[in-house]
A = this chain, B = another copy of it.
Amino acid sequence: MQLNRIVRFHKAVGDKTRLRIIALLKNSPLHGQAIAGKLGLTPPTISHHLTKLKEIDIVYQRRDKNTIYFHLNEDKLNRLASAIMKLGDDEMNNELEVSDEEKYKILNNFKDSEGKLRSIPAQLKKRLIILEHMVEGLEPGKVYPEKEINEYIKQFHDDFATIRREMIMHHFMSRENGNYELNPRELWLI
Contacts and interface: CB of A to CB of B under 8 A. Distances in A.
Interface of A: 3-4, 6-7, 9-16, 19-20, 22-23, 26-27, 77-78, 81-82, 84-85, 87-88
A interface, over-half SS: helix
Contacts of A19: 3, 6-7, 10, 84, 87
12 contacts: A3-B19, A3-B20, A7-B16, A9-B14, A10-B14, A10-B15, A14-B14, A19-B84, A26-B87, A26-B88, A81-B81, A81-B85
Contacts of A15: 7, 10-11
Contacts of A23: 87-88
Given A81-B81, A81-B85, A3 B26 contact: no
A171 B9 CA distance: 25
A78 B26 CA distance: 21
Nearest to A80: B84
A4 B19 CA distance: 10
B14 A87 contact: no
A14 B15 CA distance: 11
